[in-house]
Structure 1
Amino acid sequence: MGLLPSRRTFQVLYWRIMADILGAHWSMLIGWLDKHGSKRLLLAGGVSMLLSVFLNRLYQLYRTDSRLKQKKRQIKERMTTFREQLMRSSISEAELLSLTELELSELRSRITMGALTPADLLHAFQLKALQLYDKGNSGICEFIQEAESIFMELDRNEPQTPVDSASSENRSPLYGIPISLKESFRIKGYDSTGGVIKLCNMPSEEDCVLVTVLRKSGAVPFVMTSTSQVCRTIDGLNVIFGDVSNPFNLSRISGGSSSGEAVLLAQRGSPVGIGSDIGGSIRIPAAFCGLASLKPTLHRLSGYGMLNLAQHSVLCLSACPGPMCHKVNDLADVMRTLLTPLMFNLDHRVPPLPFDEDSYNETHEKRLTVGFFDNLPCAECMHTVPVVQEAVSQAIKAVTQAGHRVVKFKVPNPAKAVDLFIRCVFADGGSELRKWLAYEPVGTHLRFLAVMLSLPHWMKYVCDFSAILIGCRPLAIASTLGGLKNAQAAIDLTVAVREYRAEFQNAWNRVGPLDALICPVSAYPAPPSNAPAMFITPSAMYTALFNLLDYPAGTVPVAFVDRVDVLESNKAAIQRRLDGDWYNARVAVLQKSSEGLPVSVQVVGAPYREETVLRVMRIIENARSRAEQKN
């Protein structure tokens, strides 16, 4: 390492060499022009240009590698300091680790009664997270060093006995609770990279609004979790902090882009987490890892100060923060904590709507009308496998037994929704994505997308025609990746999205009006890590639909895949081949060896009806708990 030149020395040498090379070629050009004319001039000029491009690429790759090495050195140094701090705890490891297995409600009760201090609880989850970090596949980016100072402040304000705790009723539900955060949420002094090396070693100057509100409420952010690369895929690949896999089966993907958050939570490395969602980035990893989650309506929670790698490329959509937890009640506690005057004052885009306890707690005993669908049957969409359809049936049964009305719902024109979502996400033709990926190591799924984006326009139409010809209509999207040509096209797209939202709302009201909608999260449970991208990306449309509509949506686990479910998928694969549907037959085959994976459903509500969504999710969760107790 010591023999390598410093970055500054390399830059000086680089520009000196470039100047010498270009100067020499210029002299040669003048001489050759006098002797041989313009042909030699063009040849020499071309050689000079190619050499300049090569040297520039070499320099950019060197910069990327240097940034990554510097970041890894910084992480190593911080980890050494963190380990020293953690060794000071006076409680045994076994006792600390036992705390991480308790539900959030029990932890909160112990803190309120004085049986547990925020310091001990923080040390418990720090220890568990550190053990996962050392084993690998933890989903952790960095431990937040300042967590110690936060709990020390809480300890100073902690009443000595429960009797002295008259103010405890005014505490937030997350008072003294450690919380993990997706790396997209800026924290002062820490990087927010989104899996992009060129954003390493650029620490944030201040906390984002959501982190500020959490800290003011007494929650303790203690760890940052990784995202998939550029926050654009669901494969869990991250070249900076390491790839993550599904904790239930390491040969399966974790989902993304809030991949690290889901993996850490699923292994009890954190009691509560916060992710972000622009097309399913909270709901897909939560479903694949057996967690409860909620994507609220845009601006119901503040996204001010978050990392945004798509602000110059996406129309009509935006990433929104949301909680990821073990139980539905935990999700409600996060919403209660955040929906306060402090957040409303720090971000004026957030409507001043406190958490609606009546809608969540069923105090008015209103009989709900709940719609459902278990598949998007159009040729442009990936079809669900039998275990997913069975999960929707189980959820509908739970809602019916709770005394609510259930009706079948048909999504209006899903092919149009697919087209609109893709055009919104790639409104710039992928230029911003290519900028972030330049000179970076690129994962398999993004490489497939990058190739599609770089094709000439005529070749994209050829690819679409070929996909349709061989029965792979869900892959016929290349022509929609070309970007918008002018301002009028942007206006037309905005109008088309508005019209589709009105069309969907009319369908919603026509069969109800609905209070909620139950549907799949994905076409399947977690697919294999080595599955081709062509069988992964289209499955996100089951979640992306509700980003396009800006409807709140949550996920709740319903069951686990068993041997019968795998056999049913094999039968479905055979039937689909007989029907000539080669693509969806291959999707069904992906369920081989999927036994033991969690299966979830998605619950959707009208805008700003998050409490109703959570209410229906709790009904489904309670039904599952009762069934497990009987067995």
Structure 2
Amino acid sequence: MATEPGWKTLASRKKQALHDAIPRGWLIPSLPISEHPNVIEVPRTCGLLTARELEITETTDVEVILRNLRTSVWTSLETTGAFYKRAVIAHQLTNCLTEIFVERALTRAMELDDILRDTGKVVGPLHGLPVSLKDQFKIKGLETVMGYVSGIGQYADRDSVIVEILYKCGAVPFVRTNVPQTLMWGETHNNVFGRTLNPYNRSLTPGGSSGGEGALLAMKGSPLGVGTDIGGSLRIPAAFCGLYTLRPSYSRLPYHGAANALSGQESILSVLGPMANSLAGIKDFMTAVIAEKPWNLDPVVVRKPWSEDEWDLCEHGGVGGQLCFAVMWDNGVVRPHPPLVRAMRIAKAALEKAGHRVIDWVPHKHLEIYKNAETIFVADGNHDYTTECAKSGEPLIRTMAPSEEEEVAEGYAFEPPAPFVKALVGAPAHHRAYDLWKLHDEKRALRKAHLDHWERTVRDTGTGRPVDAILSPAVAYTAVPHGLNTDSFYTTLCNALDYTASVFPVTHVDPARDVPHEPHAFYNHEDEAVYRLYNTDLFAGCPVGLQLIGRTLEEEAVLRMTYVVDEALKRYASEGGPA
């Protein structure tokens, strides 16, 4: 008999160990899968969570959770325990976790409770708060698999800097979440843990590469998560899962000590950022981490304290002043689906009703920026991926489409439209250093051209300033069937130009309103495939989010402007504005 390849044995043992780490009392008696593809409500209705645990985990405003922890309304032990149980329920439904270390997290929570009881003081601004982490951030004594079989058995001898800072801030790291092999997919699937599913519809993807975080947070299995983003890996899962996030500029937050794919690639840097069900969680994370002066722990971090002036929009007319937003209805590469267009119309109407100006954004050199970025990403000719796979002998995953066996086992299926291809950039080629330098030159020129284009909008805003921020889709569609998330340029634009950007939820797909558009003159094969993908029944009920794009290192202002948009949207909805 043929023996199973060694990498398969390692992977199956690791996945079994993850399952074995689940407390037996936290297992769902029966999983509602094929009959109920939307599992968002299962944690609330499955009977495993007590009324107290539901009260804690259904609280989505991180500031409320922190206040209750500071005032001992809730202990860190019960808060961590409640979110841990809900996280494990979420995992059974979406396969979102990679590391479960219950005893370690609860011990940390008890220590924080003891300190608060004995001293009357909190340890830091995130005192007692459970925080989930993408499976890139090393935690001392734990493996960092990061989607590769070769990561099994690689135990960290120290914490990554962001984990070190979270401990200083009083947080409780409590789970790690799934990622795709190579990290460079908009889908979350690997040979060790398998595929992560979108809780709004398990036949659809939660996105990637921070898709484990997206699914977990959508299920309210964590109050605050940490992911990363090199081409949209924070913003795509946030948009697909109805969350808030912030993609900061290069080196604003500490990345040192994290595992990564394409390690040493510094042409377009990966950045870390927070994900949450509330904007308060994003702000609390940013202010807490920056207050710890991360530039003293990571030499690459920009020495920039949190700026209250920028938070007060000092360069954007001040708080309460009139802002001018520009809507990118279409990026000239892929035209967005009807729900995204409706979301932009809602945002435009809400902002205008709130007294702000909204104009159209004219795309500038988008296809050139896209080609430059994508060529940089594959400049090693896939050498990094194949080298990492060779360490264990596992195969490189070349498609995220599920196999027939996987569809049957997981209870989902779909018929992809044909053709569905991505042909804007040629096959990967191993570039010489000189060729890469030329790409850098081109990218620098493109960044300058785009900056000048933005500055020229001062002629159109009526505020005496250029456009304050751009509103656009984060992706051309909502969550799509597994294997079909090919569009990333609405997000990669920001990575290439190093623009700070956020994502925020707006609405949900409504088949009655989001009827298919008439065919248009297609920009390319991908644009045509994306158009043909749209089916109102397939996407019904999916979250619809938008992206807010600001300037480089404008984290404070971008976050404050996201508050402005979010508050305008909520006020507009409460006043019965047309959806």
Aligned to 1:407, what secondary structure does the other structure show? Answer: strand
Q: In the alignment, is residue 373 of structure 1 matched against residue 328 of structure 2?
A: yes
Give the counterpart letter for 1:64 in structure 2. Answer: W
Name which of 492, 496, 500 aligns with 2:446.
500
Tell me, yes or no, if the aligned pair for 1:287 and 1:600 is still in contact at 8 Å: yes
- Partner of residue 97, structure 1: 54
- Partner of residue 587, structure 1: 530
Give the counterpart letter for 2:472 in structure 1. Answer: C
Tell me, yes or no, if the aligned pair for 1:247 and 1:266 is still in contact at 8 Å: yes
Tell me, yes or no, if the aligned pair for 2:249 and 2:500 is still in contact at 8 Å: yes
Tell me, yes or no, if the aligned pair for 1:195 and 1:227 is still in contact at 8 Å: yes
Tell me, yes or no, if the aligned pair for 1:411 and 1:504 is still in contact at 8 Å: no
Tell me, yes or no, if the aligned pair for 2:311 and 2:557 is still in contact at 8 Å: yes
How far is 1:393 from its partner? 2.5
How far is 1:77 from its partner? 4.8
- Partner of residue 44, structure 2: none
Q: In the alignment, is residue 440 of structure 1 matched against residue 433 of structure 2?
A: no
- TM-score normalised by length of structure 2: 0.84
Tell me, yes or no, if the aligned pair for 1:189 and 1:206 is still in contact at 8 Å: yes
Tell me, yes or no, if the aligned pair for 2:150 and 2:389 is still in contact at 8 Å: no
Tell me, yes or no, if the aligned pair for 1:382 and 1:474 is still in contact at 8 Å: no
Name which of 490, 499, 510 aligns with 1:551.
499
How far is 1:333 from its partner? 0.7
**Which whole-Å deviations, capped at 9, do the CAs of 1:217-253 have from their partners, x for residues lacking one?**
1011101001122211112223322311111111111
Give the counterpart letter for 1:504 in structure 2. Answer: H
- Which fold has the larger relative contact order, with Cα–Cα distance below 8 Å and residues 6 or more apart in sequence? 2
Aligned to 1:603, what secondary structure does the other structure show? Answer: strand
- TM-score normalised by length of structure 1: 0.77
Relative to 1, partners in 2 of residues 1:436 and 1:114: Cα closer, same or farther, differing over 3 Å? same
How far is 1:151 from its partner? 1.3
CA RMSD of aligned residues (A): 2.8
Equivalence map 1:365-404=2 (5 Å): 365=319, 366-377=321-332, 381-404=333-356
Relative to 1, partners in 2 of residues 1:108 and 1:580: Cα closer, same or farther, differing over 3 Å? closer
Q: In the alignment, is residue 317 of structure 1 matched against residue 274 of structure 2?
A: no
Name which of 266, 282, 290 aligns with 1:331.
282
Q: In the alignment, is residue 234 of structure 1 matched against residue 191 of structure 2?
A: no
How far is 1:493 from its partner? 1.1
C-alpha distance in 1 between matches for 2:512 and 2:531: 14
- Partner of residue 518, structure 1: 471
Unaligned runs of 5+ in 2: 28-47, 403-417, 459-465
Q: In the alignment, is residue 489 of structure 1 matched against residue 435 of structure 2?
A: yes
- Partner of residue 414, structure 2: none
Tell me, yes or no, if the aligned pair for 2:385 and 2:396 is still in contact at 8 Å: no
Aligned to 2:182, what secondary structure does the other structure show? Answer: helix
Q: More helix per residue: 1 or 2?
A: 1
How far is 1:99 from its partner? 0.9
Which entry has the higher C-alpha Rg, 1 or 2? 1
How far is 1:630 from its partner? 4.1
- Partner of residue 86, structure 2: 128
C-alpha distance in 1 between matches for 2:546 and 2:49: 39
Give the counterpart letter for 1:210 in structure 2. Answer: I
Relative to 1, partners in 2 of residues 1:292 and 1:307: Cα closer, same or farther, differing over 3 Å? same
How far is 1:80 from its partner? 5.4
Q: In the alignment, is residue 212 of structure 1 matched against residue 167 of structure 2?
A: no
- Partner of residue 244, structure 2: 292
How far is 1:82 from its partner? 10
Tell me, yes or no, if the aligned pair for 1:315 and 1:494 is still in contact at 8 Å: no
- Partner of residue 208, structure 2: 256
Tell me, yes or no, if the aligned pair for 1:300 and 1:608 is still in contact at 8 Å: yes
- Partner of residue 607, structure 1: 552
C-alpha distance in 2 between matches for 1:517 and 1:600: 14
- Partner of residue 412, structure 2: none
Aligned to 2:399, what secondary structure does the other structure show? Answer: helix
Relative to 1, partners in 2 of residues 1:603 and 1:172: Cα closer, same or farther, differing over 3 Å? farther
Relative to 1, partners in 2 of residues 1:197 and 1:582: Cα closer, same or farther, differing over 3 Å? closer
How far is 1:405 from its partner? 3.3
How far is 1:358 from its partner? 3.8
**Which whole-Å deviations, capped at 9, do the CAs of 1:521-550 have from their partners, x for residues lacking one?**
01111112264xxxx32x101101110111
Tell me, yes or no, if the aligned pair for 1:234 and 1:256 is still in contact at 8 Å: yes
C-alpha distance in 2 between matches for 1:368 and 1:112: 36
Give the counterpart letter for 1:440 in structure 2. Answer: E
Aligned to 1:393, what secondary structure does the other structure show? Answer: helix
Equivalence map 1:350-361=2 (5 Å): 350-361=301-312
How far is 1:183 from its partner? 0.6
**Which whole-Å deviations, capped at 9, do the CAs of 1:109-168 have from their partners, x for residues lacking one?**
2222221111111111111112223x33141111234212321221121147xxx85x55
Give the counterpart letter for 1:71 in structure 2. Answer: K
Tell me, yes or no, if the aligned pair for 2:180 and 2:188 is still in contact at 8 Å: yes
Name which of 92, 100, 109 aligns with 1:143.
100
**Which whole-Å deviations, capped at 9, do the CAs of 1:327-366 have from their partners, x for residues lacking one?**
1121111101100244221113212322223433558434
**Which whole-Å deviations, capped at 9, do the CAs of 1:31-75 have from their partners, x for residues lacking one?**
xxxxxxxxxxxxxxxxxxxxxxxxxxx99x733123224423543
- Partner of residue 624, structure 1: 569
Q: In the alignment, is residue 118 of structure 1 matched against residue 66 of structure 2?
A: no
Q: In the alignment, is residue 246 of structure 1 matched against residue 198 of structure 2?
A: yes
Relative to 1, partners in 2 of residues 1:329 and 1:73: Cα closer, same or farther, differing over 3 Å? closer
The more displaced of 582-591 and 235-244 is 582-591
C-alpha distance in 2 between matches for 1:473 and 1:74: 37
- Partner of residue 21, structure 1: none
Tell me, yes or no, if the aligned pair for 1:315 and 1:427 is still in contact at 8 Å: no
- Partner of residue 106, structure 1: 64
Relative to 1, partners in 2 of residues 1:474 and 1:382: Cα closer, same or farther, differing over 3 Å? farther
Q: Identity of paired residues, percent?
A: 29
C-alpha distance in 2 between matches for 1:580 and 1:92: 50
How far is 1:204 from its partner? 1.1
Name which of 355, 363, 369 aligns with 1:417.
369
C-alpha distance in 2 between matches for 1:494 and 1:152: 50
Tell me, yes or no, if the aligned pair for 1:97 and 1:127 is still in contact at 8 Å: no
C-alpha distance in 1 between matches for 2:20 and 2:74: 31
Give the total of aligned pairs: 524
Aligned to 2:478, what secondary structure does the other structure show? Answer: coil
Aligned to 1:564, what secondary structure does the other structure show? Answer: coil
Aligned to 1:136, what secondary structure does the other structure show? Answer: helix
Q: In the alignment, is residue 528 of structure 1 matched against residue 481 of structure 2?
A: yes
C-alpha distance in 1 between matches for 2:509 and 2:401: 31
Aligned to 1:288, what secondary structure does the other structure show? Answer: helix
Tell me, yes or no, if the aligned pair for 1:527 and 1:591 is still in contact at 8 Å: no
